[in-house]
C-alpha cells in the first residue's frame, strides 16, 4: 500500500467539512489562490454534475497519456504503473457508485486526479505532465462523441431493419400517395416505408462522415501551444483509436465543430423521425383509420373513454424541437469565441449528452411502434381509390395508346374528372359512352388501366412504387444497410 501524503490527508479531511469549506484550497490549482471560490462561483463553475459521463473516456485518455510519458522516459515506468492501477480502481469506484464526486473539484478531470492522489500519492502528480485540461477535455469529449456516433449508427440500422421488414410485408399494399396532403396517385405502403429507409441511410452516411472527420487526437496540444516535453502523439493516437494527431494545437483545444456536426446530423435525423411520427398521428386518426398503433405506445384519455392517443408519436415529433434547440444553443455559444479555449466551451456537453439520450429514446420508440403497428390495408386501399387518384393513368393511356401529346391528354382527362365529379362518382365508374362523348378513341381497355392495382403495378421506372420494384428495393436495401 502507498503511504498517504500530507496533502492528500488534507483533502480527505476537507471532504468531511462543508462543501464551502472544502472549496477553500483547491489541491489542483490552489497554489496561486489565497481563497477558494464563493459558493455561487463554485456552482456556476462546476461541470461535474454532467461531465462525470466522460469518466470512461477521461480515464482511457489518462492511461494512454501515462503509458506514452513512460515510453518516452518522461516519467518512470513504476509511476506510470501506479497511475494506471490507481485509475483502474477509480473506474470501479465510479461504476459501483462509491466514488466521492465533489463540486469543489469542478469537473471530471480534477475529481479523478484528486482521487488518484488520495489513492496513490506522489506519482499522481506526474500524470498531468505535458497535458492541460484543455487538450484533456477536447480528447475526452471527442472519444465520447465517437462512441455516441457508433451507438447511433446501430440504433438507426435497427430502425431500418424493422422498416425494411414491414416494407417487404406490404410491398403490394395500396395506399394513397399525397402531395399537399391531397390524394395524388396510389402508391404502395412498402414504397412509402422505404422512403424513410433511404432518409435513414443518408443519416447514417452523415454519422460516418462526421466520425471520419472528428477522429483526430487533440491530446498533446497542451493548454494551447503544445509542449516542450518530447511526447509521442502518434502513440496516444493509435492507443485511443484516433486516425492521427490533430495538426494545430490552437485549433485542437478550441474547436467544437465535431459536436456541432453531431448536433446537425442529429437534428436532421430528428426531423426525419418527426415526419414519420406526424404521419402516424394522421394515419391513426379515425377519419383516416390507416393504422392502429400498439397499445404499448399509446395512452387513454382521463375523460374520453373511447380515446387512444398516439402519445409516443407526438412526443417523437416534439422532441425534434429539443434537438434542434441544442444545435442552435451550441452554435450560439461558439459564435464569436476568440481562439483558443474559453470556459464558454464547458457548455458544449449538456446539449450533446441530452441529444444523444433523446435520439436513443426516439429511435427505440419509433422502432417499437413500427414493429407492432397494424396497417389497415383495406382502409388504405379504399382511400387510395378516392379523389380520382387514377387520373394520371388515364392521361398516360391517352398518350401511350392514342398517341396524344401529354398536354392534350391532360386536358381530356381533366374534362372527364369534371364529369365524374358532377356525377359524384369515380373515373372508373363513368360509362364508356360518357367517356367516348369526350374522347372517341377511348376503348373498354381503359377500365383495366383505371384499376388501382394496375396503376401501381405500372410504375416500374427505377425508384417507382410498383410492388415488383419494392421487392427488389427491399433486397437492395438489405444488402446496402443491414
Ligand atoms: N471542465 C472544463 C470544460 O469542460 C475543462 C477544461 C477546463 N479548462 C480550463 N482552462 N479551465 O471545458
Q: Ligand 1 in contact with 107 (CB < 6 A)?
A: yes
Q: What is the pLDDT of residues 298-351, one digit of tens each?
A: 887 777 777 789 999 999 999 999 999 999 999 999 999 999 999 999 999 999
- Which residues are annotated as catalytic? 180, 301
Position 8 pLDDT exceeds 80 = no
* pLDDT the model gives residue 37: 65
The pLDDT of 84-89, averaged and rounded, is 98
Q: Which atom of ligand 1 is nearest to the CA of 223?
A: 10
Cα separation, 228 vs 126, whole angstroms: 15
Question: Are residues 255 and 214 in contact, defined by beta-carbon separation less than 8 angstroms?
Answer: no
Question: Are residues 224 and 272 in contact, defined by beta-carbon separation less than 8 angstroms?
Answer: no
Vertex 435 angle, CA 431 and 438, to 5°: 150
Buried/exposed 252-263: b ≥16 CB within 10 Å, e otherwise = bbbbbebbbbbb
Dihedral of alpha carbons 290, 295, 298, 302, sign: positive
How far is the centre of ligand 1, averaged over its atoms, from the C-alpha of 405 (Å)?
Answer: 69
Cα separation, 256 vs 264, whole angstroms: 12
Vertex 358 angle, CA 354 and 360, to 5°: 120
How far does CA 50 lie from the centroid of its chain?
20
**Can you read off the three cell numbers belonging to residue 339?**
481562439
Altogether, the residues listed in the chain come to a count of 482
Q: Packing angle between helix 349-372 and helix 311-334, nearest 10 degrees?
A: 160
The pLDDT of 444-463, averaged and rounded, is 94
Q: Ligand 1 in contact with 341 (CB < 6 A)?
A: yes
In the chain the first and final C-alpha atoms are separated, in Å, by 51
Q: What is the pLDDT of residues 392-446, one digit of tens each?
A: 999 999 999 999 999 999 999 999 999 999 999 999 999 999 999 999 999 999 9
Position 90 pLDDT exceeds 60 = yes
Q: Ligand 1 in contact with 135 (CB < 6 A)?
A: no
Select from 163, 205, 141 the least CA-distant residue to 356: 141
Residue 253, CA distances (Å) to 66, 260, 297 in order: 20, 15, 44
Return the percentage of the chain with pLDDT > 70, whole number. 93
pLDDT averaged over every residue in the chain: 93
Mutate to test the pocket of ligand 1, among 41, 57, 107, 225 (most ligand atoms within 8 A of CB): 107
Taking the whole predicted model, whether its pTM rises above 0.85 is answered as yes
Q: Ligand 1 in contact with 253 (CB < 6 A)?
A: no
Q: What is the pLDDT of residues 16-37, one digit of tens each?
A: 444 444 445 566 777 777 666 6
Position 6 pLDDT exceeds 50 = yes
Q: Packing angle between helix 189-214 and helix 133-169, nearest 10 degrees?
A: 160
Residue nearest to atom 7 of ligand 1 (CA): 133
How far is the centre of ligand 1, averaged over its atoms, from the C-alpha of 351 (Å)?
Answer: 16
Amino acid at each position: 500500500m502507498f503511504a498517504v501524503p500530507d496533502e492528500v490527508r488534507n483533502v480527505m479531511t476537507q471532504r468531511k467539512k462543508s462543501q464551502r469549506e472544502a472549496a477553500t484550497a483547491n489541491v489542483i490549482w490552489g497554489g496561486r489562490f489565497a481563497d477558494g471560490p464563493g459558493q455561487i462561483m463554485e456552482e456556476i463553475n462546476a461541470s461535474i454534475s454532467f461531465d462525470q459521463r466522460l469518466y470512461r473516456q477521461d480515464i482511457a485518455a489518462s492511461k494512454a497519456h501515462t503509458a506514452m510519458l513512460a515510453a518516452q522516459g518522461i516519467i518512470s515506468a513504476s509511476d506510470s504503473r501506479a497511475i494506471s492501477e490507481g485509475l483502474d480502481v477509480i473506474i470501479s469506484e465510479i461504476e459501483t457508485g462509491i466514488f466521492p464526486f465533489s463540486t469543489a473539484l469542478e469537473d471530471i478531470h480534477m475529481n479523478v486526479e484528486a482521487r488518484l492522489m488520495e489513492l496513490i500519492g506522489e506519482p499522481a502528480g506526474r500524470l498531468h505532465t505535458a497535458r492541460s485540461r484543455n487538450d484533456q477535455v477536447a480528447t475526452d469529449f471527442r472519444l465520447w462523441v465517437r462512441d455516441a456516433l457508433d451507438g447511433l449508427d446501430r440504433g438507426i440500422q435497427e430502425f431500418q431493419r424493422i422498416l425494411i421488414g414491414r416494407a417487404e410485408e406490404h410491398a403490394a399494399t395500396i395506399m394513397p400517395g399525397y402531395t399537399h396532403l391531397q390524394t395524388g396517385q396510389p402508391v404502395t405502403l412498402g414504397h412509402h416505408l422505404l422512403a424513410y429507409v433511404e432518409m435513414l441511410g443518408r443519416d447514417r452516411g452523415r454519422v460516418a462522415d462526421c466520425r471520419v472527420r472528428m477522429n483526430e487526437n487533440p491530446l498533446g496540444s497542451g493548454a494551447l501551444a503544445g509542449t516542450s516535453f518530447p511526447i509521442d502523439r502518434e502513440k496516444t493516437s493509435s492507443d485511443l483509436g484516433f486516425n492521427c494527431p490533430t495538426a494545430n494545437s490552437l485549433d485542437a483545444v478550441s474547436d467544437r465543430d465535431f459536436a456541432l456536426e453531431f448536433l446537425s446530423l442529429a437534428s436532421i435525423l430528428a426531423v426525419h423521425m418527426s415526419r414519420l411520427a406526424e404521419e402516424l398521428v394522421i394515419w391513426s386518426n379515425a377519419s383516416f383509420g390507416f393504422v392502429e398503433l400498439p397499445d404499448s405506445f399509446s395512452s387513454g384519455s382521463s375523460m374520453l373513454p373511447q380515446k387512444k392517443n398516439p402519445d409516443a408519436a407526438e412526443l417523437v415529433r416534439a422532441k425534434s424541437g429539443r434537438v434542434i434547440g441544442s444545435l442552435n444553443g451550441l452554435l450560439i455559444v461558439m459564435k464569436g469565441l476568440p481562439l483558443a479555449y474559453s470556459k464558454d466551451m464547458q457548455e458544449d456537453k449538456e446539449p450533446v449528452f441530452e441529444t444523444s439520450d433523446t435520439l436513443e429514446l426516439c429511435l427505440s420508440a419509433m422502432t417499437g411502434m413500427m414493429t407492432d403497428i397494424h396497417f389497415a390495408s383495406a382502409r388504405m386501399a379504399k382511400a387510395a381509390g378516392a379523389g380520382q387518384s387514377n387520373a394520371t393513368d388515364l392521361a398516360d393511356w391517352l398518350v401511350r395508346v392514342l398517341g396524344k401529346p401529354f398536354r392534350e391528354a391532360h386536358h381530356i382527362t381533366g374534362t372527364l374528372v369534371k364529369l365524374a365529379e358532377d356525377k359524384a362518382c369515380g373515373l372508373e365508374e363513368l360509362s364508356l359512352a360518357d367517356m367516348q362523348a369526350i374522347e372517341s378513341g377511348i376503348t373498354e381497355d381503359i377500365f383495366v388501366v383505371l384499376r388501382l392495382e394496375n396503376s401501381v403495378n405500372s410504375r416500374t421506372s427505377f425508384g417507382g412504387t410498383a410492388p415488383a420494384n419494392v421487392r427488389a428495393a427491399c433486397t437492395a436495401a438489405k444488402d446496402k444497410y443491414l
